[in-house]
A = this chain, B = another copy of it.
Amino acid sequence: MLRTHHCGDLRHENIGEKVTLSGWVQKTRDLGGMTFVDLRDRYGITQLAFNIDTNTELCLQARKLSREYVIQVRGKVIERSSKNKKIPTGDIEIEVQKLNVLNSSKTPPFTIEDQTDGGDDLRMQYRYLDIRRNPVRENLILRHQLSTETRKYLDSQDFIEVETPYLIKSTPEGARDFIVPSRMNEGQFYALPQSPQTFKQLLMVGGIDKYYQIVKCFRDEDLRADRQPEFTQIDCEMSFTEQEDILNMFEGLTRHLLKKIKGVELDSFPRMTYEDAIRLYGSDKPDLRFEMIFFEMNEVTQQNNFMVFDSAELVVGICAKDCAEWSRKKLDALTDYVKRPQIGAKGLIYCKYNADGTFKSSVDKFFSQDDLAKWAKQMNAEPGDLMFLLSGETDKVRKQMNELRLQVAEQLGLRKSNEFAPLWVIDFPLLEWDEETERYHAMHHPFTSPKPEDIYKLENSPGEVRANAYDLVINGTELGGGSIRIHDKELQQLMFQHLGFTEDEAKDQFGFLMNAFEYGAPPHGGIAFGFDRLCSLFGGQESIRDFIAFPKNNSGRDVMIDAPSKIDNAQLEELNIKLK
């Protein structure tokens, strides 16, 4: 037996016991007569004590240990003379009687400490060392807890986890597939699933009633900062269900996770239509940890000969409470912020509502104190507040104001990682216009059902048709999204038609689903949560990367194992493909 205890186990009550511990050398300290070694494993740190007088040879051996050596020690638990209140084992140390070096270690390329000196690239290359650090390991443990509690909740609600296949069929709709050449079927390819969407619908046709799966999905997209080519979903589907049932079920899941993992108990989640979210926050995933809603200002800003406003489709404002004292420098920085090409505002208008009741704006030339008082009234601003206005095309200016709102909140410290503000965004549009292909695309996916009362608009105003689709947003992050599906073959055909599929294309790509719908498909719907994102949200961090054991970089490479890589021509030949 290589150990009797873990390095986080021993306490005052163990004093006198003979124990065996194994682990890594965190650090060694020579204090002349005594040498101390901090021994580390997943569970904690225990101090080992070596006395040069009572056991010279062993102590000399201990002095040769370097960081990250793997050792096994046998010894007696004794009381520490100077206790360490910072660690749970701080009352005791091990008087070592036997030391066995299980493995040596080169000096690691970065320190194995909570705050490491290793940069991101180095950490990724030596990820197996990075994982030894507490923050990374704790992230992985958090991930495990989240999946465990997710399963517990869904199991308690009669869901069955069903594994769906990874080698499936490529469909041009949606994002780009990763494909897998088939050796046994010459010239043919599998695709890796972007999601188990059609399979979970088929499971509903198959009467499984409540399905879930925590499952890897794949998208061959150009990677943005925080995207991974393989990512994990909590994928769920229910039969004989309406939107209300699904919102309640997965609000229940989210509340369960927040309570079990974060100790946070929340009231029932607010709901907001997509239309309101866009109008009030300029985003379909508003961060509700703070208010700062949009006010539409056209009425009180136009016809004052200020061309910027007069020519705008929309003038929109937000009110930053108690910020009237913000410096010119700070305001200039914010102006620069919204003028960055990624945001694209032409400029930023502000108006300070001073504590003395006067106004000071960046457009005093065009607006009198009375005019500005109207702004304040429109925005419910009070003395001491700071108003920001942006103007332009409605869609664009809302997006810009959304960025400004988040930035102002950031500066005010309103985006606290230990606060959770959930929101259901509902009534998403069914279709969205794609400028590039000049046609409507499914906003969610082609299996999403339109609201029955809107179906008549499909022909003439397709953009106005609302869907039975919903997103769960927490703290401005889209955590999950889903919809009530179409379960009727005719309606599904109509949808494919409006999405520009020919009958043959629809049949070729989704024939099996259309066939399935002919044999008694039940009403059904579901949701999928981005599990990596859920983990980072619960971990209070922006990036998902440190919640994934072995992530890929922005070129889709695993720099640790050096993948992807070249392969033998013989292997390609067997697969009936060659390089271009």
Contacts and interface: CB of A to CB of B under 8 A. Distances in A.
Given A164-B549, A166-B216, A137 B207 contact: yes
B580 A522 contact: no
Given A184-B555, A240-B3, A166 B165 contact: no
Interface in A386-444: none
A22 B564 contact: no
Q: Is the interface of A mostly helix, strand, loop or mixed?
A: loop
Contacts of A42: 207-210
A126 B148 CA distance: 33
A518 interface: yes
Interface string A121-158: 00000111111100001001101100110010001000
Contact of A567 (B170, B512, B575): B170
Most buried by B among A3, A68, A163: A163
B549 A162 contact: yes
A188 B205 CA distance: 40
Contact of A203 (B3, B549, B566): B549
A290 interface: no
A180 B179 contact: yes
Contact of A165 (B103, B206, B244, B558): B558
A199 to B, nearest CB: 6
A185 B556 contact: yes
Most buried by B among A42, A181, A522, A558: A181
A162 B144 contact: yes
A29 interface: no
A548 to B, nearest CB: 7
A528 interface: no
A460 interface: no
Contacts of A487: 102-103
Contacts of A131: 203, 206-208
Contacts of A1: 242, 244-245
A218 B166 contact: yes
A208 B141 CA distance: 9
B567 A523 contact: no
A543 interface: no
A259 interface: no
Q: How many copies does the complex hold?
A: 2
A577 B569 CA distance: 12
B519 A129 contact: yes
B167 A128 contact: no
A565 B188 CA distance: 5
A106 to B, nearest CB: 5
B564 A522 contact: no
A459 interface: no
A478 B206 CA distance: 32
Nearest to A172: B568
A561 interface: yes
Contacts of A127: 202, 206
A190 B563 contact: yes
A42 B207 CA distance: 6
12 contacts: A126-B519, A131-B203, A140-B160, A166-B192, A167-B563, A176-B574, A178-B180, A179-B571, A188-B564, A189-B564, A189-B566, A578-B579
Interface of A: 1-3, 22-24, 40-43, 68-70, 72, 102-106, 108, 126-132, 137, 140-141, 143-144, 147-148, 151, 155, 160-170, 172, 176-185, 187-192, 198-199, 202-203, 205-210, 216, 218, 220, 222-223, 229-230, 232, 240-242, 244-245, 487-488, 511-512, 516-523, 548-550, 552, 555-558, 560-568, 571, 573-580
